[in-house]
């Protein structure tokens, strides 16, 4: 069984596309769409990598990332943040809260695959 | 009289119109002919008693010599120089420059003011891009949809052995997302179109309101008398208020104005003011109203009665000016911090303590103003809510009321263009002293 990635994103067609390309690359893809319960999902699944959208319903990705970094069981999980806003302050915030990578929409499938292989080498 | 830009030029023009020689006018005003010559060539700034003496000698109103003249132009030129400290502008000779080349000086001031307006506009638009919730959400949706389309299209193009079921699913997703993208882009364009209809002149809601009030001299007859209009309806119909935030500010201002007018009717207020010897504290006690209300009412009523219009400023607890009613010769900066010596801030740091200060602005022949200030600290939402401070300062130019004796406190507009080099409250070096 391949490495497990938890994709926290609320846009269904992005979820479908990322699930497709990562599955074909051997990943086991779990998904979650609601910000308010996303951290619970992280704690329950403890994936190898997390893809985390910054702008989610009910709770921002930055707050979720802060919780992930504050808990011993989840602190070391590599996180790639996705955002539609490429502003420097968003990058700074992602870095401050402990994101491993930061990717601005629209991104290419190849970029996602490349980063994921770097974050969790087989 | 021809409305030239500078006071000295106006005096010369009026003297020549009357056929007076310099020596004759100088004698009437009690000054030397050589000094008058310097004044007429804009080599000396004048204010206060000398303006009154010269206007009396010429048989004109003082405002005819000074209104709209000199001070704003020189202030604008100083501000233009302050914006470019790297350029060694000869600020010590600004009056000389404005006197010799009034057209070029006015052009420079106008360009500088336009740049400031445009910079403010850019700042406002940048703020909107960052904080406008609709714009932020719409851009996020558009970019997310583009991402979904791009990913699905790449999958279809790059995956040779794609299952027909997946192929159909991604094609359907692309079709649906293309529709969403179109809808989102149209909504975005409509939103930006509406934004583009807003006037460029007033960059902020506060500026929109101030421009509206300026037209009526900050006096609102519709809210006076026994049957005042509804403030909400007045704000909704007010011309020039294009943004919801400006209408909201206007509504709050009109509400307060109507309350002030109801408590202090114009006729009774004017009589009480005169009987009190123009003491706003005594008027406040007489009507049993807060001093700040008396100051606001005075500012709203004195302008239309002829004579120089008083000024009024209000600041919140951070010291930010939240309302500006300008008066001639007392520059109220739009951006950046103002002079910390304004009595407004003395009042702000001493809640409920009334402050009266005679102040003077400018160098050479400074203009004097009588100021009254008060601040309040309240908890509008109850004991569990935050403490909210607000300070109000009335600015009375000479000619409106008798001024008390004693020295005036030298103050400025802001540190960067203030000539008082040794000021103990100085925050940063003055460009004027650096250039001298």
Lowest-confidence segment of B68-72, B80-84, B297-301, B333-337 by average pLDDT:
B68-72
The architecture (CATH level 2) of A4-117 comes to 3-Layer(aba) Sandwich (3.40)
Check CB contact under 8 Å for B166 and A20: yes
Compute the average pLDDT of residues B143-157.
92
The tens digit of pLDDT for each residue in A14-54 reads: 999 999 999 999 999 999 999 889 999 999 999 999 999 98
pTM of the prediction?
0.49
Looking at mean pLDDT, say which of B80-89, B129-138, B272-281 comes out highest. B272-281
B144 touches chain A (CB under 8 A): yes
B window 395-434, beta carbon within 8 A of A: none
- Residue A48: predicted pLDDT: 95
The pLDDT of B4-12, averaged and rounded, is 74
CB contact B168 to A (< 8 Å): no
Q: Which residues make beta-bridge pairs with A29?
A: A5
The residue ranking higher by pLDDT, B195 or B350, is B350
pLDDT interval class at B306 (50, 70, 90): low
- Asked if residue B436 has pLDDT above 50, the reply is no
Nearest CA distance, B135 vs chain A (angstrom): 12
* Residue B124 in this model has a pLDDT that exceeds 70: no
The pLDDT mean for chain B works out to: 83
DSSP string, chain A: ---EEEEE-S-HHHHHHHHHHHHHTT-EEEEE--HHHHHHHHHHH--SEEEEESS-SSS-HHHHHHHHHHSTTTTTS-EEEEES---HHHHHHHHHHT-SEEEESS--HHHHHHHHHHHS--
Q: Are B174 and B152 in contact (CB under 8 A)?
A: yes
ipTM of the predicted structure? 0.88
Whole-number percent of chain B with pLDDT over 70? 86
Domain boundaries, chain A: 4-117
pLDDT higher than 80, residue B305: no
Q: Is the pLDDT of residue B94 over 90?
A: no
Which range (A77-81, B196-200, B213-217, B251-255) has the least confidence? B196-200
Question: How do residues B372-420 score in pLDDT, each as one tens digit?
Answer: 999 999 898 899 999 999 999 999 988 788 888 888 999 988 787 677 7
Residue contacts between A and B (CB atoms, under 8 Å): 59
* Contacts by B130-137, CB closer than 8 A, 24 or more apart: B130/A87, B134/B191, B135/B188, B135/B191, B136/A85
B169 touches A: beta carbon within 8 Å: yes
At B434 the pLDDT is: 44
Gap from A59 CA to chain B (nearest CA, Å):
14
The pLDDT assigned to B131 comes to 55
The per-residue pLDDT for B343 is: 97
**Measured distance CA(A53)–CA(A62) in Å, rounded:** 9
In this prediction, residue B4 carries a pLDDT of: 46
Give the per-residue pLDDT at B239: 79
Other CB atoms within 10 Å distance of the CB of residue B56: 13
Interchain CB distance below 8 Å, A105 and B159: no
Residue B267 reports pLDDT greater than 80: yes
By CA distance, what is B159's nearest residue in A? A21
Residue B295: pLDDT over 90: yes
* Rounded-to-integer distance, Cα B60 and Cα B103, Å: 25
Instruction: Reply yes or no on whether the pLDDT at B133 is more than 70.
Output: no
Nearest to A82 by CA among A63, A110, A62: A62
> Per-residue pLDDT averaged across B126-141, rounded?
67
Res B335: pLDDT: 61
Q: What percent of chain B has pLDDT over 90?
A: 32
Q: Rounded to whole angstroms, how far apart are CA atoms B9 and B26?
A: 15
Among chain A residues, CA nearest to B142 = A84
Select from B155, B166, B173 the Cβ nearest to the Cβ of A109. Answer: B155
Nearest Cα residue to B430 out of B7, B82, B141, B121: B82
Structure token pair of residue B29: 């005003």
**B190: closest CA of chain A, how far (Å):** 21
Highest mean pLDDT, choosing among B140-144, B210-214, B220-224: B220-224
What digits encode the pLDDT tens for the residues A68-119? 999 999 999 999 999 887 667 778 888 888 999 999 888 889 999 999 999 9
Is omega for the bond preceding A106 within 30 degrees of 0, making it cis?
yes
User: B321-331: per-residue pLDDT in tens?
Assistant: 999 998 877 87
Q: Are B139 and A84 an interchain contact pair (Cβ–Cβ within 8 Å)?
A: yes
> What local confidence, expressed as pLDDT, does residue A55 receive?
85
- B371: β partners: B357, B395
């Amino acid at each position: 069984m391949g490495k497990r990635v938890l994709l926290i994103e609320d846009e269904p067609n992005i979820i479908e596309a990322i699930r497709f390309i990562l599955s074909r690359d051997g990943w086991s893809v779990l998904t979650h769409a609601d910000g308010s319960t996303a951290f619970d999902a992280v704690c329950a699944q403890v994936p190898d990598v997390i893809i985390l959208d910054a702008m989610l319903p009910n709770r921002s990705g930055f707050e979720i990332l802060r919780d992930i970094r504050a808990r011993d069981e989840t602190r070391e999980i590599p996180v790639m943040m996705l955002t539609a806003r490429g502003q420097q302050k968003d990058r700074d915030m992602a870095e401050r809260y402990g994101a491993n990578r930061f990717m601005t929409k629209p991104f290419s499938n190849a970029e996602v695959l490349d980063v994921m292989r770097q974050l969790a080498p087989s | 009289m021809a409305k030239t830009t500078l006071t000295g030029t106006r005096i010369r023009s009026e003297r020549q119109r009357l056929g007076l020689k310099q020596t004759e006018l100088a004698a009437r005003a009690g000054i030397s002919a050589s000094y008058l010559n310097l004044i007429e060539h804009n080599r000396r700034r004048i204010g206060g008693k000398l303006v009154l003496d010269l206007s009396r000698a010429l048989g004109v109103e003082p405002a005819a010599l000074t209104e709209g003249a000199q001070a704003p132009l020189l202030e604008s030129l100083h501000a233009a120089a302050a914006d470019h400290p790297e350029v060694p502008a000869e600020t010590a000779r600004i009056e000389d420059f404005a006197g010799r080349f009034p057209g070029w000086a006015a052009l420079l001031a106008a360009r500088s003011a336009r740049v400031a307006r445009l910079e403010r506009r850019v700042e406002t638009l940048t703020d909107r891009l960052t904080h406008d919730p609709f714009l932020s959400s719409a851009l996020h949706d558009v970019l997310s949809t583009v991402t979904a389309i791009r990913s699905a299209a790449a999958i279809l193009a790059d995956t040779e052995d794609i299952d027909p079921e997946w192929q159909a699913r991604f094609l359907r997703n692309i079709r649906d997302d293309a529709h969403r993208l179109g809808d989102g882009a149209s909504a975005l364009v409509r939103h930006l179109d509406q934004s583009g209809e807003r006037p460029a002149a007033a960059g902020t809601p506060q500026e929109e309101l101030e421009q509206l009030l300026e037209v009526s001299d900050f006096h609102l007859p519709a809210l006076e008398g026994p049957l005042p209009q509804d403030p909400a309806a007045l704000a909704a119909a007010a011309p020039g208020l294009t943004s919801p935030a400006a209408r909201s500010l206007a509504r709050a201002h009109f509400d307060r104005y109507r309350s002030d007018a109801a408590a202090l009717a114009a006729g009774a207020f004017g009589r009480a003011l005169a009987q009190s010897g123009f003491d706003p504290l005594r008027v406040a006690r007489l009507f049993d109203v807060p001093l700040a209300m008396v100051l606001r009412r005075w500012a709203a009523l004195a302008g239309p009665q002829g004579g120089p219009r008083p000024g009024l400023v209000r600041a919140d607890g951070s010291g930010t000016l939240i309302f500006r009613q300008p008066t001639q010769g007392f520059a109220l900066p739009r951006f950046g911090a103002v002079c910390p010596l304004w009595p407004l801030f003395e009042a702000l740091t001493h809640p409920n303590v009334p402050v009266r200060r005679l102040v003077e602005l400018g160098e050479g022949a400074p203009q004097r103003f009588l100021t009254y200030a008060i601040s309040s600290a309240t908890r509008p939402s109850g004991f569990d809510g935050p403490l909210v401070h607000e300070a109000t300062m009335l600015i009375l130019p000479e000619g409106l009321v008798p001024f008390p004796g004693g020295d005036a406190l030298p103050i400025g507009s802001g540190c960067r263009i203030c000539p008082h080099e040794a000021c103990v409250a100085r925050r940063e070096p003055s460009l004027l002293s650096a250039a001298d």
